[in-house]
A and B are shown apart, each in its own frame.
Chain A
Amino acid sequence: MPPIEHTHPVPALAGLLLTITLGLAGPAAADDDGRSMPRQVPKAYTSECGSCHLAFPPGALPAASWKHIMAGLDKHYGSNASLDDATTRQLDSWLQAHAGTWKRVGETPAQDRITRSAWFQRKHRQVRDAVWAHNSVKSPANCGACHPGAERGDFDDDHLKIPPGLPLHLRWAWFD
């Protein structure tokens, strides 16, 4: 009986596996998902925009929203978040380059708030108001309260945590 011919299928399979592995694990996937962080994040973005709130993934808002936000940093949702001109310009162009272009981020949400986007509200439709108001959450902008990987742009449903002290009757959204 002749030996089974392996030469062709094996490299092809290896190639396929390699492609899948790179596609899933590598940062190449980042650009396909507006919630992930781009490969290159300016230091100033993390230090300036990540002090008072999570350094949100730029893909979470459309370019027009980032434009408004960067033009009004002196009145930034009730806080003065002004930057020097050079940093403002640097972050503005980075945000424009990485803003959300995918279909569901196409519309500018009310007040340019990520939390007012249709996709955000749909994703969180099971989360009761009492959860947002809970002391260990405080605000829907506090992504890390439930998404421990938020700083890395990991918002996977399978990686959720329950905010400490959240009463049992409010936890069912986590298991849905």
Chain B
Amino acid sequence: MQLRSRLLKPAAALLLAAVTNAAAAAETTAAAQLEYWSAQAGTPGQAARGQAFFASKHGGEWSCASCHGTPPAREGRHATTGKSISPLAPAFNPRGFSDSARSDKWFRRNCKDVLNRECSAGEKADVLAYLLQLKP
């Protein structure tokens, strides 16, 4: 995967660092990742499709919502261990989707749990569009 639009522009990153004092954490944003996966898919992410995808099971025992909740604007809870999970929607969790390696890792792991395969670029774009729509 090449580095591109998912990264903040340096000036924007500096500004964000100055404002939030969280330079190390904010390497990217959910909006930048939505743009990136939409470009990879060749079609913009759709929130309604993302919402349906998020709430549905895909052949496995769990949906995304099984652990992250519906809507994922509050703390979730791991379906087997009961451990609490920070809210997934970025408006409710400043750390959410601020690190592309971390996002990639969890997409990879969790999609394999829910779909028995990795998610497509389009599915990721749809889910991001849905999550970005959730506001306090």
The answer to whether A binds B is yes
- Which A residues fall within an 8 A CB radius of B? 51-54, 74, 77-82, 137-139, 141-142, 144-145
Q: A53: which of B83, B108, B113 is its contact (CB, 8 Å)?
A: B83
- Which B residues fall within an 8 A CB radius of A? 61, 77-78, 80-83, 85, 108-110, 112-113
Do A52 and B81 touch across chains, with their CB atoms under 8 A apart?
yes
Which 7 pairs across A and B sit closest by C-beta, in order of nearness?
A: A138-B82, A80-B112, A142-B82, A53-B81, A80-B109, A141-B81, A52-B78
Chain A hits for B85, CB < 8 A: 51
Do B83 and A137 touch across chains, with their CB atoms under 8 A apart?
no
Chain A hits for B109, CB < 8 A: 79-82
Do A53 and B78 touch across chains, with their CB atoms under 8 A apart?
yes
Chain B hits for A78, CB < 8 A: 61, 80, 113
Q: A52: which of B61, B83, B112 is its contact (CB, 8 Å)?
A: B83
Do A142 and B81 touch across chains, with their CB atoms under 8 A apart?
yes
Closest Cβ neighbor of A74 among chain B residues: B112
Show 27 A/B contacts (Cβ-Cβ < 8 Å), sorted by A: A51-B83, A52-B78, A52-B81, A52-B83, A53-B81, A53-B83, A74-B112, A78-B61, A78-B80, A79-B80, A79-B109, A79-B113, A80-B108, A80-B112, A80-B113, A82-B109, A137-B82, A138-B77, A138-B80, A138-B81, A139-B80, A139-B81, A139-B82, A141-B80, A141-B81, A142-B81, A142-B82
In the assembled complex, the CB of A88 is this many whole angstroms from the nearest CB of chain B, namely 13
